[in-house]
Amino acid sequence: MKTDSLFTDWRDKALQFESNINQVVIGQSATIRNVLIAIFARGHVLLEGGVGVGKTTLLRAVAQGLGGSYQRIEGTIDLMPADLIYYTYLNQEGRPCVDPGPLLKEGEQLSTFFFNEINRARPQVHSLLLRAMSEGSVSAFNREYRFPHIQVFADRNRVEREETFELPAAARDRFLMEINVNTPVDDAVLDELMFNPRFHDVDSLIAGIDRDSLKYYELNDISGLIQKTLEPSPRLRSYALDLWKASADPGQYGVKLSDVEMPSLIQAGASPRGMSYFIKAAKVRAWLNNRTVLLPEDVQAVYHVTMAHRIFLAPVYAYRKDELMPQLINGILDAVAAP
């Protein structure tokens, strides 16, 4: 199949997949588009939002459409790294047995791994998850287990902070995106969620998604083709480079925030890995919009979700992160001249 027809075929499948998800999780179109971009950029996603806003429903719908195997684990303060690898129990004869845990259970068919309330798990658990995310493998029982198609989705509950562990910088940097999932504000959407019985039965909603509408085992290949085919112009490359530099030194580009000493604001800007993820996401967005040319609007559209969790504020300003980070991102996009 020629590249053009392959692109068209996969784009049509991707947009139909997006449409199907929007029928299940309503009022979250921006979130769903970002998740779709992450799927084709083959990046992991950190979701943050309140209780009951549809995060789990969204991920179940995504897993249904991708096919493959879906595993979920709950973050708790007593969760240990070994709990991801195996679990022990007594069989009917009273003998101890060991079975594969959620990471190993499905083998190479594991495509969607959901870590609920990841910030309740200890740093030792985060470390094991990091390897699975970055290398697609873990070692156990004197052998290596590989997960060539794994995509990790994790969520943090922003309401409850007791008995939680903040993700270290290395862990956050492994996530392609951090997406805030908020309660819809449109009255018509809220009315549907409250009074339409269709949205009260999540299992029936999920069952309505065509299984394997996107074949999970083909995503790595099509993602690689997207990245090789779309090439930014020299001016676009220069623009993206300025956006990177501005993440570490926004004052150099004239960014000013109220009640902030700009030279003291940033502890660390985005990493090289983060910027490569940023460009990967921008290319997928251009592809979804039926273009083979990367435009400034593509990089601008994914800048917040790929960069905000990679910019670390100095301790004196860290407690104001929720207030300052949106202002900083918008200030950078306004200050750095687009080609």
- Alpha-carbon dihedral sign for residues 197, 202, 207, 213: positive
Give yes or no: residues 115 and 242 share one domain. Answer: no
Q: What is the number of domains present in the chain? A: 2
Query: What is the layout of strands, in order, in the sheet containing 44-49?
Result: 69-74, 110-116, 151-157, 44-49, 175-181
Residue 51 has pLDDT above 90, yes or no: no
pLDDT recorded at residue 141 = 84
208 and 326 share one domain: no
Instruction: Answer yes or no: do 216 and 235 share one domain.
Output: no
Question: Which of residues 189, 223, 257 is at a domain's end?
Answer: 223
What confidence score (pLDDT) does residue 162 get?
60
Q: What is the average pLDDT across 45-69?
A: 90
Q: Which helix (H) or strand (E) holds 290?
A: none
**Same domain, yes or no: 58 and 173:** yes
Quick: pLDDT tens for 4-39.
777 889 999 999 999 999 999 999 999 999 999 999
Q: Of 270, 261, 282, give the one whose Cα is nearest residue 310.
A: 270
Residues 143 and 290 in one domain: no
Q: Give residue-wise pLDDT tens across range 101-121.
A: 999 999 899 999 999 989 888
CA distance 128 to 75: 13
End position of a domain, from candidates 223, 253, 281: 223
The model's pLDDT over 267-288, given as tens digits with 9 standing for 90+, comes to 999 999 999 999 999 999 999 9
Which tens digits make up the pLDDT trace of 129-157?
888 998 999 988 888 999 999 999 998 87
Q: 138 and 154, same structural domain? A: yes
What's 35's domain CATH number? 3.40.50.300
Task: Reply yes or no on whether the pLDDT at 3 is more than 70.
Answer: no
Which are the contacts of 61, defined by CB distance < 8 A and separation ≥ 6?
20, 21, 24, 25, 205, 206, 209
Cβ distance 18 to 36 under 8 Å?
A: yes
pLDDT > 90? residue 191: yes
At residue 183's C-alpha, the angle toward residues 35 and 190, to 5°, is 115
* pLDDT at residue 233 is higher than 70: yes
Q: Which residue stretches of the chain are H helix?
A: 3-24, 29-41, 55-66, 82-85, 123-135, 169-173, 187-195, 202-207, 219-229, 234-248, 272-288, 296-307, 315-318, 321-335
- Render 42-56 in DSSP notation, one character per residue: T-EEEEEE-TTSSHH
Residues 118, 19 share a domain:
yes
Residues 175 and 43: their CA atoms lie apart, in Å, by 7
Question: At 213, is the pLDDT very low, low, confident or very high (cuts 50, 70, 90)?
Answer: confident
Using CA atoms, how far residue 35 sits from 32, 46, 145, 192, in Å, is 5, 10, 26, 23
Around Cβ 227, how many Cβ atoms within 10 Å?
18
> According to the model, what pLDDT value does residue 113 have?
94
Same domain, 238 and 167: no
Say if residue 265 is in the same domain as residue 311.
Answer: yes
Among the candidates 193, 223, 253, a domain finishes at: 223
Alpha-carbon distances of 240 from 173, 249, 290, 294, rounded to whole Å:
18, 14, 21, 11
Q: Could you tell me whether strands 69-74 and 86-90 are parallel, antiparallel, or unpaired per DSSP bridges?
A: unpaired
Q: Which residues contact 5 (CB under 8 A, 6 or more apart)?
A: none
Say whether both 217 and 236 belong to one domain.
Answer: no
Amino acid, res. 55 = K
Same domain, 290 and 192: no
Q: Of 8-12, 154-158, 179-183, 227-231, which gets the smallest average pLDDT?
A: 154-158
Q: What range defines the domain where residue 262 resides?
A: 230-335
- Looking at residue 1, its pLDDT comes to 43
pLDDT higher than threshold 50 for residue 238: yes
Claim to verify: residue 219 and residue 267 sit in the same structural domain:
no
pLDDT at site 54: 87
CB of 302 within 8 A of CB of 179? no
Mean pLDDT of 238-245: 97
**Residue 297, domain CATH:** 1.10.8.80
Question: Is residue 2 over pLDDT 80?
Answer: no
Q: How many residues are there in the chain?
A: 339
Confidence of residue 166 (pLDDT cuts 50, 70, 90): confident
At 5 the pLDDT is 75
Work out the mean pLDDT of the chain and round it to a whole number.
91
